[in-house]
Amino acid sequence: MLVLSRKIDERIVMPELNVTLTVLAIEGNTVRLGITAPAEVRVYREELWNRVRANAAAPAARNTV
């Protein structure tokens, strides 16, 4: 895992993906990030991505019984 420190208004750039993360605010232990990405790049919070993956796997699991 790469660990980077950023301050408000500083960015992390992933040029090959055309994605930029911007630190918008830091309030206590909460960081607000802005994500700029092409429309075809899907961005999820981890807990939602886990739910999407679980729902996609569920029909396949039912078909194996």
Q: Per-residue pLDDT tens for 20-63? A: 999 999 999 999 999 999 999 999 999 999 999 999 987 666 66
Q: What was the pLDDT predicted at 58?
A: 78
In a domain, 45, yes or no: yes
Q: Note whether residue 4 is domain-resident.
A: no
- pLDDT of the residue at 64: 59
Write down the pLDDT at residue 57: 86
In angstroms, what CA-CA distances link 32 with 8, 41, 46, 64?
9, 20, 15, 42
Q: pTM (2 decimals)?
A: 0.77
Cβ neighbours for 11, distance < 8 A, ≥ 6 positions apart = 20, 21, 22, 23
Q: What is the pLDDT of residue 16?
A: 96
39 belongs to a structural domain = yes
User: Does residue 1 form part of some domain?
Assistant: no
Find out whether 12 and 21 touch, Cβ atoms under 8 Å.
Answer: yes
Has residue 55 been placed in a domain?
yes
Tally of domains within the chain: 1
Q: Is residue 58 part of a domain?
A: yes
Residue 3 lies in a domain: no
Q: What pLDDT shows up at residue 46?
A: 96
Q: Which domain holds residue 51?
A: 11-63
Residue 26 within a domain: yes
